[in-house]
Structure 1
Amino acid sequence: MCLLVACAGPEPALSSETVGPRTAVLTDPDPEPITSSPAAQLPVTVRSFDGTDVTVTDTSRIVAADQYGTLTTTVYALGLGDNLVGRDSAAEFPAVADVVDVTPGGHSMSAEGILALDPTVVLTDTSIGPRAVQEQLRAAGIPVVYFDPSRTLDGVSAQIQAVADALGVSAEGESLAARTAEEIARARELAPRGENPVKIAFLYMRGPAIKMLAGPGSGADELVEALGAEDAGTAAGLTAQFVPVTSEALIAAGPDVILMMTGGLDSIGGVEGLEQIPGIAQTPAGRSQRIVDMADGVILSFGPNTGKVLDALARAVYEPAT
């Protein structure tokens, strides 16, 4: 099945001369299950990321919660969507809309709320908490499996496989990881090739008071690199994942494109509001209104939809207006 490009062959790389604001949108935000209702090989004992050996005997009622929606997306893509009874706020694709949100505040879980769902296994990581809640669930006898909280392109396949192994569907994990890697490779081919890559700044904002530039290790830097572009934060010498940025520093960074979460852009009144933020109008991106946004729960998830995310971003950044 050809998911991202025409079956006739590789699609030509796109142009780097676009202007104007764009929203990167997945054609189908629901992950495509690799199979339907796979038979889990249980019990299975796995080494949780926190170093604890956890035995999973039942996957009929799964709670998956992390900051990025990655674990819920992975469970669904493995074909176990019908087993999900709890998810995080970032997992907002239509297929799980009716699954209980166990992180209604966005970053914290309630032990009572999760226990009420009678889960047979909880998948989580340290990007969300409080840790005391996760430990309370373990104390109640529920298998709680932690996963690596880092989100990188190189880690996508390993993360998929780790989730599959914990749920007793290792073979499906191998197939899903291979498919995702192929989709990522295809999407990378869309990036223009040349000696002067565009410079993209990932700007995190929540209202006019919070303005942070992404740097190395943020995950945004890897997206930018995969798009054949230069990460403005890294080029500016940042050494942390997200750093509060002054107007002067943003101007000095000189991004050709500003990449944002849709929720962050909305929080300041859209593109018109962004232009009122000091320093934005003085950047090449501000002058050309070359602003690209993407849904908060999608852009940094680094899961089974990563190839689709890169494809949508590449088109939003490079594809000429029609």
Structure 2
Amino acid sequence: MNPSKTRLLAMMALGLLLAGTPLAQAEEREQTSERWVVLGGDIAETLAALEADINVIARDDTVVHPPAMAALPSVGYLRQLSAESVLSVKPDQVLAAGSAGPREVLAQLEAVGVNVATINAPPSLDAIADKVRAVGQLTDRQNAAEALANDLNDKLNRLASMPVLPPTRAMFIMQHSGLTPRAAGSDTAAHSALEAVGLDNAFAEMQGYHSVGAEALARQSPDVVIVSERGLAAMGGKAALWQLPGLALTPAGRKQQLIVVNVQALLGFGPRTPDQLLALRQDVETLLGASTNAQKSTAKISP
């Protein structure tokens, strides 16, 4: 047989053998023109962290990170989607967070042939690693997902093993309406974050997010105020924050103890959350340390 033909046949045989391997199948999928829509900021961040976002061509309004994905066309708000909006980008695959909906819209997408994969995970820190593994399974990134999940769990375990903080009441402001801040109560992602870093939620007696007036602020007396970057900017900055009625009567207001956070990264329960929690814990320790040192200095100079 001609040597050239022999080499050609050998190469073809090797190609047929490799075609059935998971690696070859994954590479083949990446080279296709499959069109994906991602619904949910945590799912989008997980896809990016696993480098599995190559086919994403659209997202919902909650996807604000990474910047490249946030720049993609939006199909609407996560919980108020319409089939027409999603279908307008001609998707082959929709990868959705469990909170995406309405459910009827997702059913309509499936009815016209769009493959819809929903990742149902509770909004809790314990579920972050499971969510990563689920995305890895759907995108053939199992090994990368397992490594990332273990790393995230290690960070959460490190946070949980940190020394207990002195009793500190915190107020988490999500936004404000006029002169009334909207604070986080129990059964919220913000409450979970406060607990994770060792803070007491000053408004744990209420459930959900509610506006709180001057009397409630003075009564609950938070030691620290935590606010989102956007929330602080919307109310006009730090000076405007401390002018909120009742806040000056609190320990936080008197000492102007404030921590500003990236709320999407902190409360999204995605791959960025453990690092953000560790950073918040460090900020709290720094703030409390500075406050303690100031009290000691005042005590030394007092007659």
Q: TM-score, normalised by structure 1?
A: 0.71
Shift of 1:127: 3.3
The separation in 1 between residues aligned to 2:256 and 2:150, in whole angstroms, is 37
1:11-22 pair list within 5 angstroms: none
The answer to whether 1:285 aligns with 2:252 is yes
The answer to whether 1:297 aligns with 2:264 is yes
Runs of 4+ with >6 A deviation: none
Q: Give the conservation status (yes or no) of the 8 Å contact 1:41–1:169.
A: no
Shift of 1:150: 3.2
Gaps in structure 1 of 5+ consecutive residues: 1-37, 43-57
1:127-149 CA deviation, whole Å, 9 max, x = no partner? Answer: 34344432322222112222336
Distance 1:251 1:113, change over 3 A: same
Q: Please, which of 27, 38, 45 is the counterpart of residue 73 of structure 1?
A: 45
The answer to whether 1:98 aligns with 2:65 is no
Distance 1:242 1:121, change over 3 A: same
Q: Give the conservation status (yes or no) of the 8 Å contact 1:208–1:277.
A: no
Q: Give the conservation status (yes or no) of the 8 Å contact 1:127–1:149.
A: no
Q: Give the conservation status (yes or no) of the 8 Å contact 1:188–1:310.
A: no
Shift of 1:199: 1.6
Shift of 1:302: 0.8
The separation in 2 between residues aligned to 1:128 and 1:269, in whole angstroms, is 32
Does the residue aligned with 2:174 lie in a helix, a strand or coil?
strand
Distance 1:258 1:128, change over 3 A: farther
Cα RMSD for the two superposed structures: 2.8
1:207-264 CA deviation, whole Å, 9 max, x = no partner? Answer: 3266332122202122112212212222xx22x2223323222222211111122212
The answer to whether 1:232 aligns with 2:202 is yes
The answer to whether 1:308 aligns with 2:275 is yes
The separation in 1 between residues aligned to 2:33 and 2:144, in whole angstroms, is 15
When Rg is computed on C-alpha atoms for both structures, the one with the higher figure is 2
Distance 1:99 1:223, change over 3 A: same
Distance 1:250 1:182, change over 3 A: same
Q: Which amino acid aligns with 2:218?
A: I
Q: Please, which of 164, 178, 199 is the counterpart of residue 193 of structure 1?
A: 164
Q: Give the conservation status (yes or no) of the 8 Å contact 2:39–2:78.
A: no
Q: Identify, as 1 or 2, the structure richer in helix.
A: 2
The separation in 2 between residues aligned to 1:275 and 1:40, in whole angstroms, is 59
Q: Which amino acid aligns with 1:301?
A: G
Q: Give the conservation status (yes or no) of the 8 Å contact 1:40–1:168.
A: no
The answer to whether 1:318 aligns with 2:285 is yes
Q: Please, which of 32, 36, 50 is the counterpart of residue 62 of structure 1?
A: 36
Partner of 2:57: 85
Q: Give the conservation status (yes or no) of the 8 Å contact 1:64–1:87.
A: yes
Does the residue aligned with 1:311 lie in a helix, a strand or coil?
helix
Partner of 1:177: 149
1:214-253 pair list within 5 angstroms: 214-234=184-204, 237-238=205-206, 240-253=207-220
Q: Please, which of 107, 110, 115 is the counterpart of residue 135 of structure 1?
A: 107
Q: Which amino acid aligns with 1:179?
A: D
The separation in 1 between residues aligned to 2:171 and 2:200, in whole angstroms, is 9
Distance 1:264 1:122, change over 3 A: same
Instruction: Kindly indicate whether structure 1 or structure 2 has the higher relative contact order, using CA contacts under 8 Å at least 6 residues apart.
Output: 1
The separation in 2 between residues aligned to 1:302 and 1:264, in whole angstroms, is 19
Shift of 1:203: 1.8
Does the residue aligned with 2:157 lie in a helix, a strand or coil?
helix
Shift of 1:187: 4.3
The count of residues paired between Structure 1 and Structure 2 equals 261
Distance 1:295 1:257, change over 3 A: same
Q: Give the conservation status (yes or no) of the 8 Å contact 2:170–2:201.
A: yes
Shift of 1:152: 1.0
Q: Give the conservation status (yes or no) of the 8 Å contact 1:256–1:285.
A: yes
